[in-house]
């Protein structure tokens, strides 16, 4: 049986209630957590208001999940649920473990060329600007067609750009 992951929109601050309710209905869930503020910091959901659930092909998992306490709806709200592949969830779990273990990406210096390796800007190349928080939020500058844009993301989403990376359509 093949499994895929759906995203559930939870009621406000009800992620853990929804997670317990969906699990009680026999469906696997995943609620990623992040600790803020360093040692002894508070744990909070990585994606506030959202929960992942693993659906089995040919099962009634989706019907059982939709009506669970704490669940508002399955994404997208109307239409066929958007299903995520297992490697997507595996990568989030990996980053969650690295963060919990205090693992950070290699330290970057201002002006270092970096490549985004996950998220909506995957494969974009830019310049490292600065670290914003001890939890690993950083700012990079992306070179776009009409100028430069500063974006914030987790340092784990970056790697050092190599000689083989492309810049503006030509080899570096």
Predicted pLDDT of residue 28: 95
- Same domain flag for 118 and 91: no
Question: What's the pTM?
Answer: 0.59
Look at residue 85 and tell me if it is in a domain.
yes
Q: Which has the higher per-residue pLDDT, 110 or 162?
A: 110
Binned at pLDDT 50, 70 and 90, residue 51 comes out as: very high
Nearest-angstrom CA–CA distance, 159 and 115: 5
Predicted pLDDT of residue 101: 63
pLDDT digits (tens, 9 = 90+) for 23-40: 999 999 999 988 765 555
- Residue 74 pLDDT more than 90? yes
Neighbours of 80 (CB within 10 A): 7
Average pLDDT over the chain, rounded to whole?
83
- Residue 20 pLDDT more than 60? yes
- Same domain flag for 87 and 11: yes
- Same domain flag for 31 and 88: yes
pLDDT digits (tens, 9 = 90+) for 77-125: 888 888 999 988 988 888 787 776 665 545 788 889 998 888 888 888 8
Q: How far is CA 37 from the centre of its chain?
A: 19
- Same domain flag for 15 and 49: yes
Nearest-angstrom CA–CA distance, 68 and 49: 15
Count Cα atoms within 13 angstroms, Cβ side, for 20. 5
User: Percentage of residues in the chain with pLDDT exceeding 90?
Assistant: 37
- Residue 62 pLDDT more than 60? yes
Domain count, the chain: 2
- Domain holding 150: CATH number? 2.30.30.30
Rounded to an integer, the average pLDDT of 150-160 is 86
- Domain holding 86: CATH number? 3.30.70.940
User: Percentage of residues in the chain with pLDDT exceeding 70?
Assistant: 84
Predicted pLDDT of residue 124: 86
- Same domain flag for 81 and 153: no
DSSP 88: H
Residue 121 is part of which domain span? 113-171
Predicted pLDDT of residue 40: 54
């Amino acid at each position: 049986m093949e499994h895929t992951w759906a995203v559930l929109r939870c009621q406000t601050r009800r992620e853990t209630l929804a997670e317990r309710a969906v699990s009680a209905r026999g469906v696997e869930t995943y609620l990623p957590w992040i600790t803020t503020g360093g040692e002894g910091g508070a744990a909070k959901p990585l994606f506030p208001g959202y929960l992942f659930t693993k659906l089995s092909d040919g099962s009634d998992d989706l019907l059982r999940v939709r009506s669970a306490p704490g669940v508002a709806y399955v994404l997208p709200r109307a239409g066929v649920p958007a299903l995520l592949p297992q490697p997507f969830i595996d990568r989030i779990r990996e980053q969650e473990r690295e963060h919990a273990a205090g693992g950070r990406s290699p330290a970057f210096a201002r002006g270092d060329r970096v490549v985004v390796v996950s998220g909506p800007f995957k494969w974009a190349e830019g310049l490292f600007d600065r670290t914003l928080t001890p939890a690993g939020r950083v700012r990079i500058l992306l070179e776009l067609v009409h100028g430069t844009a500063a974006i914030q993301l987790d340092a784990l989403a970056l790697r050092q750009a190599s000689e083989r990376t492309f810049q503006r359509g030509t080899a570096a």
